[in-house]
Amino acid sequence: MESQEQGEHAPLPLLTPYKMGNFQLSHRIVLAPLTRQRSYNNVPQPHAILYYSQRTMKGGLLITEATGVSDTAQGYTDTPGIWTKEQVEAWKPIVDAVHARGGTFFCQLWHVGRVSNQDFQPNHQAPISSTDKSVAPRLQSNGYDVAYFSPPRRLRTDEIPQIVNDFRLAAKNAIETGFDGVEIHGAHGYLIEQFLKDQVNDRNDQYGGSLENRCRFALDIVEAVTNEIGVDKVGIRLSPFAHFMEAGDSNPNALGLYMVEALNKYGILYCHMVEPRMKIVGEITETQDSLVPIRKAFNGTFMVAGGFNREEGNKAVAQNHTDLVAYGRWFLANPDLPRRFEINAPLNKYNRETFYTSDPVIGYTDYPFLETIA
């Protein structure tokens, strides 16, 4: 039994307190950023108040679903943004609800880049990217619909500062909204990773070619955001080992190490890394690589994600491979996940078919809590 392994009265490693900069967390189980596609017309909705507050335990850290930084950042139906006054005002009661339950709440800032098509773009223009190479059509998570991506337009060198500024303004809006901080989305084949990865980035200016040049865009964003809101409120998510959306790299270990060593110079709050064995709906990436060298190289709080269960999460913390563990699908289906882990209760099964629907209740806020189970 796990309780015997941990000692008769020793707390589970996942349920031990942790001080993340100025934030005192009561446990190490983080709500991962999860796209749910229920923010109609890119505006967060009142039903998100219940969704996020259900998953808030006093002293817990939650990260929002990926949130667009501009009108060019969109690539999926009904994902939220934080670039307009209407969006800022719509987020405020959601943030207030999480804070009322004692949670710490970070907003994940997102630009999809080429993972889009003209229907999502202002004036039906081409999506922007580091490249003009397209993403091939791919089967959607429901198993039968196909997503098509428009050929992107390669950003000119002189346009890049404007995109960096979009992230800065979004971070400013997030703090105005009441969020405790922001997480820069530099993972999963979206715009920042389209610059980071040599499988995608085919530029020959100062944002392409060498590892230093490919990382420049991400670090420009980090610098702009930290200058705007402070290093103590900024995290970043990276997935150097992933190939999602055709964004692979020839040397992911070198990329990950270069990035965290560069991030150390800024002193940002945390680095959120996706494990090499990352599992995404419809795609599984398994390698023999490890995040341990990257963890050792980073000076701030280290967070991992990638299909952890209770036992694996406890082991990762106990062995000092990470400080925090982000849970996605299991937290989606179990709003009281920390409590279930504490008493080793059975977990609700998640339903993939309701991950990305527009229903404001089904598969969103109707997963039962322990006390509602007979």
Catalytic residues: 190
**CA proximity to 128, closest of 106, 112, 109:** 112
| Tokens 């791919």 -> residue | 138
Q: What is the DSSP string of 273-288?
A: EE-TT-EETTEE---S
Give the C-alpha separation, 124 to 80, whole Å.
Answer: 19
Give how far Cα 85 sits from Cα of 89, 122, 149, 297, Å.
6, 18, 29, 39
Cα(299)–Cα(167) distance, integer angstroms: 24
Amino acid at 101: R
CA dist 155 → 36, 210, 222 (Å): 29, 18, 19
In a 3-state reduction of DSSP, which class is residue 18? strand
Nearest-angstrom CA–CA distance, 10 and 17: 13
Nearest one of 80, 285, 294 to 189, comparing CA atoms: 285
Q: How many CB atoms lie within 10 A of CB 205?
A: 12
Structure tokens at 351: 């339903």
Q: What is the DSSP letter of 48?
A: H
Strand partners, 107: 182
Please tell me what DSSP assigns to residue 364: T
